């Protein structure tokens, strides 16, 4: 198999051991003599996986008993609707930090009164707004903790006078989180915790059931809490791989240890971007994401963009093209992206600079 360095934004690199376990389970799942995609989701072997996966979430993120973890289909984009359906009664506020935040806000607007409390849209979302005030009369305040496309990240669990809801699709399990500060944390698995097809919701249970609208059964989070994420058929294969991915996080020493690795990896790459005369970072330094590192050619060197792209490609770099809305480059260096890959990209940038001297 060809050796590549995978910087895809999602779906993306997963721990090799999780992939290997998935391959094994496609042959014979838990000694059942059947592939994991062919067993009943009501079997005891499958129930054991669900229980293990839920328990790992709770353990790795220190989730308090006030909260429950739910796994569903639909992606984070469906999560935007779950948020509004289950929590919006009078008014909701959103921190508009990127395209995903805007899409989340759009769903809420479709159901009621929702608006952007603060926004960095005027500078193409290259920073996280600060110094804004969160009105005390909101049903909830919604943040996108990591802006996958722009490479900015909210590095703290903010103090919020109203229930705080966070889309953590692209930084969940990458750093410790004080779950008790959130009414809900949700996201698609396909960036840090598994393959596409499963979406996680960590919900503060006593905040549900407060809206007056009719919530369709499948969109009601209470349905899925009551059903143990098996009200209907769960995405079994995605959950299986997510479980293996979480086992890997635990083996690495847990979220705290993975966070240290992520800080190291990001520092290696940002240091090179800041040192190298041919490249500049696009995100405000204090808001730089540990997960998605965005950069462009330095002023005066814009014409080298395609050449560098090809240069990097020839050296095994995959997925470093920036999102179409910002251009340039983006290296997604999620939990499972090895330090060697980050180093390989840095070497590539150095080599390219030498070549152009």
Ligand X SMILES: *Cc1c(COP(=O)(O)O)cnc(C)c1O
Catalytic residues: 100, 167, 191
Minimum Å distance from CB 130 to ligand X?
19
Report the phi/psi class of residue 3: left, alpha or beta, with left for phi > 0 and alpha for psi in -120 to 50. Answer: beta
Instruction: Work out whether 167 is an interface residue with ligand X (CB under 6 A).
Output: yes
How do beta strands 92-96 and 140-144 pair?
parallel
Backbone angles phi, psi at 279, to 5 degrees: -130, 150
Instruction: Work out whether 153 is an interface residue with ligand X (CB under 6 A).
Output: no
Choose which of 93, 151, 188, 235 interacts with ligand X (CB under 6 A).
Answer: 188
Q: Which stretch binds ligand X (CB under 6 A): 69-77, 124-132, 220-228, 296-304?
A: 69-77
What end-to-end distance do the CA atoms of the chain give, in Å?
35
Q: Site for ligand X (CB under 6 A): how many residues? A: 12
Choose which of 12, 76, 283, 345 interacts with ligand X (CB under 6 A).
Answer: 76
10 or 328: whose CB is closer to ligand X? Answer: 10
Choose which of 6, 8, 170, 341 interacts with ligand X (CB under 6 A).
Answer: 170
Q: Which stretch binds ligand X (CB under 6 A): 55-63, 70-78, 257-265, 324-332?
A: 70-78
Backbone angles phi, psi at 116, to 5 degrees: -85, 120
Q: Which residues of 192-209 are buried (b: 16+ CB within 10 A; e: fewer)?
A: bbbbbbbbbbbbbeebbe
Instruction: Work out whether 75 is an interface residue with ligand X (CB under 6 A).
Output: yes
Minimum Å distance from CB 73 to ligand X?
10
Minimum Å distance from CB 326 to ligand X?
14
CA distance 189 to 168: 10
Instruction: Work out whether 77 is an interface residue with ligand X (CB under 6 A).
Output: yes
Instruction: Work out whether 184 is an interface residue with ligand X (CB under 6 A).
Output: no
Instruction: Work out whether 144 is an interface residue with ligand X (CB under 6 A).
Output: yes
Instruction: Work out whether 11 is an interface residue with ligand X (CB under 6 A).
Output: no
**Is residue 312 a contact partner of residue 238, using CB atoms and an 8 Å limit?**
no
**Is residue 191 a contact partner of residue 245, using CB atoms and an 8 Å limit?**
no
Q: Which stretch binds ligand X (CB under 6 A): 109-117, 165-173, 237-245, 257-265?
A: 165-173
CA distances from 88 to 108, 113, 223 (A): 7, 8, 18
193 or 346: whose CB is closer to ligand X? Answer: 193
Q: Which of 329, 354, 350 is nearest to 151 (CA)?
A: 329
- Order the strands of the 140-144 sheet from edge to edge: 67-72, 199-204, 184-188, 164-167, 140-144, 92-96, 114-119
Contacts with ligand X, residue ranges (CB under 6 A): 10, 75-77, 100, 144, 148, 167, 169-170, 188, 191
């Amino acid at each position: 198999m060809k050796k590549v360095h995978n910087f895809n934004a999602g779906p993306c690199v997963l721990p090799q051991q999780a992939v290997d376990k998935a391959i094994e389970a496609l042959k014979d799942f838990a000694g059942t003599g059947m592939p994991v995609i062919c067993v009943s989701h009501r079997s005891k072997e499958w129930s054991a996986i669900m229980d293990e996966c839920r328990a790992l979430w709770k353990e790795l993120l220190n989730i308090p008993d006030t909260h429950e973890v739910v796994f569903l289909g639909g992606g984070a984009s469906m999560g935007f609707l779950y948020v509004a359906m289950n929590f919006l009664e009078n008014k909701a506020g959103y921190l508009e930090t990127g395209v995903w935040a805007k899409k989340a806000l759009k769903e809420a607007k479709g159901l009621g009164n929702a608006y952007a409390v603060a926004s960095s849209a005027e500078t193409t979302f290259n920073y996280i707004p600060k110094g804004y005030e969160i009105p005390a009369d909101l049903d909830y305040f919604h943040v996108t903790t990591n802006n996958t496309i722009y490479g900015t990240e909210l590095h703290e669990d903010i103090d919020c006078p109203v229930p705080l809801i966070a889309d953590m699709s692209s930084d969940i399990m990458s750093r410790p989180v004080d779950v008790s500060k959130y009414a809900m944390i949700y996201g698609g698995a396909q960036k840090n915790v598994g393959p596409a097809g499963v979406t996680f919701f960590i919900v503060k249970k006593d905040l549900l059931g407060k809206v007056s609208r009719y919530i369709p059964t499948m969109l009601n989070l209470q349905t899925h809490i009551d059903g143990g994420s098996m009200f209907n058929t769960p995405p079994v294969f995605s959950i299986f791989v997510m479980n293996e991915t979480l086992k890997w996080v635990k083996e690495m020493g847990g979220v705290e240890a993975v966070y240290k690795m992520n800080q190291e990896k990001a520092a290696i790459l940002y240091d090179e971007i800041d040192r190298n005369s041919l490249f500049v970072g696009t995100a405000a330094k204090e808001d730089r994401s540990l997960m998605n590192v965005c950069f462009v050619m330095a002023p005066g060197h814009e014409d080298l963009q395609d050449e560098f792209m090809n240069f990097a490609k020839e050296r095994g770099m995959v997925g470093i093209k920036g999102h179409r809305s910002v251009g340039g480059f983006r290296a997604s260096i999620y939990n499972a992206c090895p330090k060697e890959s980050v180093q390989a990209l840095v070497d590539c940038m150095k080599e390219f600079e030498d070549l152009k001297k």
